[in-house]
A and B are shown apart, each in its own frame.
Chain A
Amino acid sequence: MRSTASLATALATTLGAALMFGSSAPALAAPSGQTIGLTCVVCHGQGGQGSGAIPPLAAKGADHLYQEMADFKSGKRLSTVMNRHARGYSDEELKAVADYFASLPAK
């Protein structure tokens, strides 16, 4: 486990990394799910609860959220703005942010 767990590292991501890599986990080179997620809530509502016509993300399954973003990224699924956003993230980042929103409670 790395010596300093940054506050803004999502609990789920930290635990996931700890379980996967054990005590030899390197410092995270990618932004955490929470760091990314806090840029999403600007449109997708506080705690990922949605805002007007913009859909909620909280408590959706992590696999489902990841797959949607992967499909936006590849262009398999079309949207107004999400294709442009999804191309800004690595697979690892998309998984982390999917885990983040999956961990938040539905309203």
Chain B
Amino acid sequence: MTLSRRSFLKLAGAAAALGALNGCAMGPSRGSGGHVVVVGGGFGGAAAAKYIRTFDPSIKVTLIDAALSNYSTCPFSNLVLSGDLKMEDIKVSFDALKNKYGVNLIEDHVDGIDADKRTVRLKSGKTLAYDRLVLSPGIELKYGAIEGYSHDVAQKLPHAWKAGNQTAILRRQLEAMPDGGTFLMVAPPNPFRCPPGPYERASVVADYFKRHKPKSKIIILDPKDKFSKQGLFQEAWDSLYPGMIDWVNPERGGVVASVDAAGMSVKTKDGDTLKAAVINVIPPMQGGKIVTASGLADDKGWAPVNQRSFESTKAKDIYVIGDSCIAGPVPKSGYGANSEAKIAASAIVESLNGGELIEPKWVNTCYSYVSATDAISVAGIYELDAEGKIIEVKDSGGVSPKGGANYKAEGLFAKGWYDGIRADTWG
């Protein structure tokens, strides 16, 4: 066959994009121009910014986040709590996004969106116009859902569910805790960011206690009947930390009614009061404030989006990705957000260039450490069904086999995963 001139130009464009992905020449490919504003510099927002610039360097991209100069990843932050990593190990630099991919960076809060005028208003007072807007604000913690808990109380009873200063506070408390103390965790209800996260945290803190404070105990008060990778976690707890971790389900009184920061205690719905030396309260969550405040969320606080493009079903030209959006079975994880970001980036580039949406596919792989060196994993592969809903591909994915034979190998792969996803998102 002969390629038409038009087709040839498109192939040339695809070749240029591939070249860019390989780190070769970043020649202009599609050329529509336009301005995309991305709110949120985490796994979703940063990857969206990078891949929009990669797919079409003619598009100007501005990334806004209030913590650009002090951003830490939630993945691997549990290893900071256990003392196996330092805070600087989980810090992220946005230099490559700026210098290598030409993303404009603004360190600021976004206070509001005018979807009709297509502008965002910044806390500093500035207004920014966009052609397409990407919102990847992560989660908002619902402090008020637990009596006695608040943003201020979280300085004493940290959630450490947004990495950074909160991680450092909880690490200091665990370090200061005497041997024989109790570390009490209030686990969140579904849906929440990082489903295996609380249980990885309990595991690696147990490993820290085993090495440094072996008489200590961990209590997890959980409003859920079951949790991610439960069989694997409980198997690891029984073999590595026998008797140290007590997971309390709702039937046994795991639902928390209130917390008392002054008395360092937690009261359950069943009326029991538990005292602890360190209390980690992970409250219920909803989509980021900019999503709920802008009328982009449903009545539960999460943003419904077109499942092929991630464009909001409530506002044109606004795309919501990552923890804040509803993406069927794709979990609220860094990997999930990164995977959604690439599909949304492609959809935005196609929409600005008058092209068609691609056939999507998403992946999630979450490693969880069960000790400082050993890990387990869950994998998921997702696609659209005939009705346009995201589904997990039948008979695919799932968790590591039981028995611990892969602990060491998965511990190494977890590190490769972390370095890899950092490079793919910010590097």
* Chain A residues at the B interface, C-beta cutoff of 8 Å: 1, 4-11, 14-15, 18-19, 22-23, 27-32, 34-36, 38-47, 51-54, 80-81, 84-85, 87-89, 93, 103-105
Chain B residues whose CB sits within 8 angstroms of the CB of A42 once the complex forms: 335, 338-339, 363, 365, 417, 420-421, 424
Nearest B residue (CB) for A27: B356
What residues of B have a CB within 8 angstroms of the CB of A1 in the complex? Answer: 1, 3-4, 7
Tally of A-B Cβ pairs under 8 angstroms: 167
Known: A5-B11, A84-B396, A85-B396. Is A34-B3 also a contact (CB below 8 A)?
no
Instruction: Give A85 to B361 CA distance when docked, in angstroms.
Output: 12
- The interface of chain B, by Cβ under 8 A from chain A, is 1, 3-4, 7, 10-11, 13-15, 17-18, 21-23, 29-30, 51, 55-56, 335, 338-339, 342-343, 346, 349-350, 353, 355-363, 365, 377, 379, 381, 383, 393, 395-398, 400, 406, 409-410, 412-413, 415-417, 419-421, 423-424, 427
Query: What residues of chain B lie closer than 8 Å to A7, measured between beta carbons?
Result: 10, 13-14, 17, 29-30, 55-56, 346, 349-350, 353, 355
With a cutoff of 8 Å between Cβ atoms, the chain A residues found around residue B350 in the complex are 6-7
Q: How far is the CA of A51 from the CA of B412 in the complex (A)?
A: 10
Using Cβ atoms and an 8 Å threshold, which residues of chain B touch A89? 381, 393, 396
If the complex has contacts A31-B360, A39-B363, A47-B21, are A8 and B412 also in contact, measured as CB distance less than 8 A?
A: no
Is there an interface contact between B11 and A8, defined as CB atoms closer than 8 Å?
A: no
New A-B contacts (9) at CB < 8 Å, excluding given A6-B357, A11-B11: A6-B356, A7-B353, A11-B18, A32-B358, A39-B362, A43-B420, A51-B420, A53-B415, A54-B416
**Closest beta carbon of chain B to A51's beta carbon, Å:** 4
- Determine the residue in chain B with the shortest Cβ distance to A52: B416
Shortest CB distance A66–B (Å): 17
**Looking at the complex, which one of A34, A47, A80 makes contact with B410 (CB distance below 8 Å)?**
A80
Please name all residues of chain A whose beta carbon is closer than 8 Å to the beta carbon of B406 when the two chains form the complex.
Answer: 80
Q: CA A27 – CA B10 in complex, angstroms?
A: 15
The reply to whether A46 and B413 form a contact with Cβ atoms under 8 Å apart is no
How far apart sit A10 and B15, CA to CA, in the bound complex (Å)? 8
User: Which chain A residues lie closer than 8 Å to B409 at the CB level?
Assistant: 53, 80
For the complex of A and B, the 8 pairs showing the least CB-CB separation, nearest first, are: A88-B381, A52-B416, A88-B396, A51-B420, A54-B416, A39-B363, A53-B412, A87-B396
